[in-house]
Amino acid sequence: MGPRTVTFIFLLSAGAIGSWYLSRSNAPGSEGDLPYEPMHQGYYLKQARILGTGEDGSLLYEIEAQHAEQKDDASIECSEVRSRYSPDSGVPWVVKADEATLQDGSPTIILRGHVQIVNDGGSAEHNTEIRTQYLELDAKEYIAETDARVQIRFGSRSVTATGMLASLNDDKIALKSNVRGKIAP
């Protein structure tokens, strides 16, 4: 072996040892050593469709949203939301809102921004429409509740109040306070 070969082998060995050392020093140790926050590993969906089921596994309700994103606390934030019950449930109410939050393990859906609940009674005279800015909907128990201002329209009649408790499966609405209405024949 000549001096050129020995020099070449020496340089090649030094390069291999140097690359091993550099790759080892750049390997992440523990998350506490990272100079940045690790990225959230949740999901997001466009034109999402979320199905809620009853105790027996049958379809109970459906939520459609233009955008849905899982947050760090496992909740799901949705925008441009529309929710309706299964035809088999016999609950004709449709719920719409600008935003909704679904908590992991909870049947309650928190709706915010231009919340509208509509029961199409078959004709404009029998339509019932509820409007508010905030509503908590227990989808499995068919209960809608708010402490915010609500406006309820029954055809051409209108009632406003502060707070409401509605049972959507038996069409009962209880207003909490400051009830005012316009009921004309």
CATH value at residue 148: 2.60.450.10
Residue 121 lies in a domain: yes
- Do strands 59-70 and 76-85 pair parallel, antiparallel, or not at all (unpaired)? antiparallel
Distance CA 111, CA 109 (A): 6
* Closest among 105, 122, 107 to 63, alpha carbons compared: 107
Q: What average pLDDT does range 6-11 have in this prediction? A: 78
Q: How far apart are CA 143 and CA 166, in angstroms?
A: 6
Confidence of residue 7 (pLDDT cuts 50, 70, 90): confident
Residue 23 lies in a domain: no
- Would residue 1 count as lying in a domain? no
Q: What residue has token string 């939301």? A: 81
Chain segment 15-42, per-residue pLDDT in tens:
888 787 777 755 555 555 556 665 656 7
Residue 45 three-state SS: strand
Hey, CA dihedral for 107, 148, 117, 48, is it positive or negative? Answer: negative
Determine the structural domain holding residue 49 and report its residue range.
44-182
Residue 168 falls inside a structural domain: yes
pLDDT for res 9: 81
For residue range 89-132, what is the model confidence (pLDDT) as tens digits? 788 889 999 999 998 888 899 999 999 999 866 655 678 899 99
Flag whether 15 is in a domain.
no
More confident residue, 8 or 64: 64
Q: How many domains does the chain have?
A: 1
Whole-model pTM?
0.72
Q: Is residue 22 part of a domain?
A: no
